[in-house]
Structure 1
Amino acid sequence: MLTVAPSGRWLERDHDPWFLLGDTAWELFHRLDLDDADHYLRTRAEQGFNTVFAVGVAEFGGLDEPNANGQVPFIDRRPDQPDERYWHHVDTIITMANQYGLVVALLPTWGTYWADAGEAILHPGNAAQFGSWIAARYRDSDLIWVLGGDRYIETSRHRATLDALAKGIRETVGHRQLITVHPRGHASSKNDLSDATWIDFDLVQSGHVGWHTPNDALIAADYDRPPLRPVLEGEPNYEDHPVMTPDWLPVPGWVFGATDVRRSLYHAIFAGAAGFVYGANGVYQMLDSDTPDPVHGRATSWRAALDLPGASQATHGAHLLRELGPGWTPAPHRLRSAPGFLSGRVMVLDRNTPTEVLVYLPPGATATIDTEDLGCAPSGRWWSTVTGRWRTADLTAQPTTVNPDQDVDTILHIAARPA
């Protein structure tokens, strides 16, 4: 069972610290048949992901474009008249995911269907009923509820609809399943919902505009404002996704790669994030050669995109946290040199039992770290963000000054030597 840790900064699974490492599969239920879904889920589980994010009523034509079996979610677009054949397909895939050890982070619908004029089928009068219905269906699944769906909460009607949807879910499942909200780009679920008592943890979306959106700043800002809840990076720059302008136009020839994925991941981790949701452009939309109207033009097909390098490199970060264990907190006070800016930012974590320091260094960065409380000759080791492997570091100076001779981002682990 997933719960929020007593600290309010972490998630736990059966009372053990649990870092959510998710993959974005918005169109999983809509565009994949069972064989393809099995391939997708098996691959992500084998790679080391523990959660997949998917949408019941999908973003791209989810009300009217049939799923892989020719069914739509509702009869006559009415949430009180679900098509059991469609939802049985969703049932089967959720069960399959859980059998592979994957938690399903389920958006009941994309934001279109409660926020957009002409498309909104949920409203304050029916959202609680729909929430109760879908929650009863999946109350025994290994599942997180994700409301929202990439929309701003702009009106009192929007807020009332989400409150009603959450009420229907919470009254049905109690606290056996967690609830969060997927926000718009460069925003947090806490922006409009800081007073929503039904939210268990917050998501930020640093998004896809510009080469680098400082998700560490979004995460730190969330922790600085009440109430205290775990914060996760819910939508960073997707691998193989075009770099977008503020007007939401793709920059010709520029796409995000594995380096950008790693930077977003470690900036989130070193800001204290309780999880990170990876995304690949071809996978989130389950893009195939015959997919109509692919977003931003053709990209790598979903099967090939499963093996983009950023996916495996993201799992290294989660493995590092599992290996080192819990208790790490941001420690900018240990940095005696300038931290750098945006993609060149050096970040530091530490913990006191035992005293250890973890430093994230961008390519070619130099940093001076205060390690006086670790003794005269602390031990050090470098960790590769690309391979997930350790090598010994030679640390002789006090304070410790480091400048790795590498062209990729690197992590340094510093610990006091045993007496």
Structure 2
Amino acid sequence: MLKVNNRRFEKDGKTFFYLADTCWSAFTNISMNDWRHYLKKRKAQGYNVIQINVLRQWDASTISDGKVWEPFELVSNDGTRVYDYSKPNEEYFNHAEEMLKVMEEYDLTPGLILLWCNYIPDTWVHGMAQATNLMPYENVAGYVEMAVKRFKKYHPIYFISGDTDFPEESKAKDYYLTAYDVVKANDAEALVSAHIAGEHTDVYPDLLEKLDFFSYQSGHGRDGQQTSYSIPKEMLKKGFNKPMVDTEVCYEFMPKFSREMDERYSAKDVRKSSWQAVLAGAFGGVTYGAHGIWSWHNSGETFPPGYPYPADFHDALNFSGAMDIAYIKEKTKDLINPQPVELDGLKALKGQNKTLVYVPAARDVDLSDLDFDFSQVKAVNLENRRIYFPEVADKLAKKLDLADDYLLILA
């Protein structure tokens, strides 16, 4: 079971770098054969957490084989899906348990989102026609208790919210506080957080103080990618001293949300966002996402309008960015007492044993602000992970002749 130790996670007495993938639609969209194939792949890549929406994802892809898993009895299916929340579908939750049993075989931790934003009143998603499924408040405690009692044996992390904002003068606060209280009453040792909408930091203060770690997302806005590092920097300035995780960096192949929607995020974009998040203070971990995995898309299926189609999941599962992000875990998990620092305008993470500096584009790097002597400066090309040894003179690491971003390792 995971525990919190200051600003990092631990498991069995060892540092646990939270390396997750977003697979929001797992319980509704994935066959067991595909599920095993997917988990085997991510486990081999070094992932240790899979983030899943317990209930139906409002913007998932359709299901090609016709099998529609519904978490509650369906009252209406005129395109809006209206549930009777007093009548859980036992078949659905049995199916979810079977999937969690397979995760257990692979020693993967479930990150279970209990209440996605479309189930909560007054959140941003309710202005969109296709988002419905509002859960009556009187059903929240019963649903959460049922889910936790079923799933606690798999030692999940719980997120009481999914992709949400925190509207004032709203019943939403009661939903979240009730969900938190019910989780802790039924699985007291479990870690609990809230998955916040992209580029946001605001959480109800009385909820924030309860959370075991801070989960934010830098998200998919082209003009908001700096929040990957500005958010943890802001939280550190406020004195937040628990782990921080960017649980939704920009998804590889996802369109860059903007007026034009004419570009998609590359593996390099994802690398940059992820490295800058971790080195700026979110060294609890980071979450990768592929546009085609989170919605579990098969070619030919429909997908909610508003931005270009995702890749087929078979292709998305092989995007190179997944391994790029896994490399962050390998280079940061053994840092002793890491502290985020700014070094010549670059994001860096200083440990007692080594310091990591992310260089997004080739340039000279002034190392004179470091207050320790280093005997070696090594550079790793993050596109292909080839090793270089830049020339260093008077604590100035000279620019490498590389077109790619790279990591300086000072030891």
Deviation track 1:59-102 (CA, whole Å, cap 9, x = no partner) reads 2378x999964431112423331111111111111111121121
Q: Say yes or no: does 1:4 pair with 2:4.
A: yes
State how far apart, in whole Å, the 1-side matches of 2:59 and 2:72 are. Answer: 13
1:166 is matched with which residue?
Answer: 180
Query: Per the alignment, in what secondary structure is the counterpart of residue 309 of structure 2?
Result: coil
State how far apart, in whole Å, the 2-side matches of 1:67 and 1:192 are. Answer: 40
State how far apart, in whole Å, the 1-side matches of 2:400 and 2:205 are. Answer: 41
2:214 is matched with which residue?
Answer: 202
Query: Per the alignment, in what secondary structure is the counterpart of residue 120 of structure 2?
Result: helix
Of the three residues 402, 408, 414, the one matched with 2:410 is 414
Aligned 8 A contact 1:33 1:68 in 2: no
Q: Say yes or no: does 1:405 pair with 2:401.
A: yes
Specify whether residues 35 and 369 from structure 1 end up closer, same or farther in structure 2 by C-alpha distance, changes over 3 A only: same
CA displacement at 1:401 relative to structure 2: 3.1
State how far apart, in whole Å, the 1-side matches of 2:151 and 2:65 are. Answer: 20
State how far apart, in whole Å, the 1-side matches of 2:360 and 2:35 are. Answer: 36
State how far apart, in whole Å, the 1-side matches of 2:135 and 2:299 are. Answer: 33
Equivalent residues in 2 for 1:341-356 (5 A)? Answer: 346-352=346-352, 354=353, 356=354
Unaligned runs of 5+ in 2: 76-82
State how far apart, in whole Å, the 2-side matches of 1:408 and 1:47 are. Answer: 22
1:343 is matched with which residue?
Answer: none
Of stretches 105-114 and 71-80 in structure 1, the one that deviates more from structure 2 is 71-80
Specify whether residues 195 and 227 from structure 1 end up closer, same or farther in structure 2 by C-alpha distance, changes over 3 A only: farther
Specify whether residues 108 and 68 from structure 1 end up closer, same or farther in structure 2 by C-alpha distance, changes over 3 A only: farther
Deviation track 1:356-390 (CA, whole Å, cap 9, x = no partner) reads 33221112222201267444x72121123223454
CA displacement at 1:113 relative to structure 2: 1.1
Query: Per the alignment, in what secondary structure is the counterpart of residue 46 of structure 1?
Result: helix
Q: Say yes or no: does 1:71 pair with 2:60.
A: no
State how far apart, in whole Å, the 2-side matches of 1:170 and 1:277 are. Answer: 24
Q: How many residues align?
A: 390
Query: Per the alignment, in what secondary structure is the counterpart of residue 273 of structure 2?
Result: helix
Query: Per the alignment, in what secondary structure is the counterpart of residue 360 of structure 1?
Result: strand
Q: Say yes or no: does 1:328 pair with 2:343.
A: no
Specify whether residues 185 and 82 from structure 1 end up closer, same or farther in structure 2 by C-alpha distance, changes over 3 A only: same
Q: Which amino acid aligns with 1:384?
A: N
Q: Say yes or no: does 1:262 pair with 2:271.
A: yes
State how far apart, in whole Å, the 2-side matches of 1:181 and 1:361 are. Answer: 31
State how far apart, in whole Å, the 2-side matches of 1:151 and 1:44 are. Answer: 27
Query: Per the alignment, in what secondary structure is the counterpart of residue 160 of structure 2?
Result: strand
Of the three residues 315, 320, 331, the one matched with 2:326 is 315
Query: Per the alignment, in what secondary structure is the counterpart of residue 326 of structure 2?
Result: helix
Q: Which amino acid aligns with 2:293?
A: V
Specify whether residues 379 and 186 from structure 1 end up closer, same or farther in structure 2 by C-alpha distance, changes over 3 A only: same
Of stretches 21-30 and 358-367 in structure 1, the one that deviates more from structure 2 is 358-367
CA displacement at 1:128 relative to structure 2: 1.8
CA displacement at 1:120 relative to structure 2: 4.8
TM-score between both structures, scaled by the size of structure 1: 0.87
Equivalent residues in 2 for 1:29-44 (5 A)? Answer: 29-44=27-42
**Higher relative contact order at CA 8 Å, sep ≥6: structure 1 or structure 2?**
2
The alignment-based identity, stated in percent, is 23
CA displacement at 1:108 relative to structure 2: 2.0
Specify whether residues 361 and 297 from structure 1 end up closer, same or farther in structure 2 by C-alpha distance, changes over 3 A only: closer
Q: In angstroms, what is the RMSD of aligned CA positions?
A: 2.3
State how far apart, in whole Å, the 2-side matches of 1:90 and 1:372 are. Answer: 50
Aligned 8 A contact 2:28 2:68 in 1: no
Specify whether residues 180 and 293 from structure 1 end up closer, same or farther in structure 2 by C-alpha distance, changes over 3 A only: same
CA displacement at 1:266 relative to structure 2: 0.7
Unaligned runs of 5+ in 1: 340-345
2:203 is matched with which residue?
Answer: 192
Specify whether residues 365 and 391 from structure 1 end up closer, same or farther in structure 2 by C-alpha distance, changes over 3 A only: closer
State how far apart, in whole Å, the 1-side matches of 2:271 and 2:287 are. Answer: 12
Aligned 8 A contact 1:123 1:157 in 2: no
State how far apart, in whole Å, the 2-side matches of 1:122 and 1:74 are. Answer: 11
Query: Per the alignment, in what secondary structure is the counterpart of residue 148 of structure 1?
Result: coil
Aligned 8 A contact 1:55 1:110 in 2: yes
State how far apart, in whole Å, the 2-side matches of 1:139 and 1:400 are. Answer: 52
1:157 is matched with which residue?
Answer: 171
Q: Which amino acid aligns with 2:71?
A: P
Deviation track 1:221-278 (CA, whole Å, cap 9, x = no partner) reads 1122244321111111110001111xxx5522x1000110110111011112111111
1:241 is matched with which residue?
Answer: 254
State how far apart, in whole Å, the 2-side matches of 1:372 and 1:151 are. Answer: 39
CA displacement at 1:161 relative to structure 2: 0.8
Equivalent residues in 2 for 1:267-346 (5 A)? Answer: 267-273=276-282, 274-294=284-304, 296-322=307-333, 324-332=334-342, 335=343, 337=344, 339=345, 346=346
Specify whether residues 65 and 84 from structure 1 end up closer, same or farther in structure 2 by C-alpha distance, changes over 3 A only: farther
Q: Say yes or no: does 1:94 pair with 2:100.
A: yes
Aligned 8 A contact 1:30 1:67 in 2: no
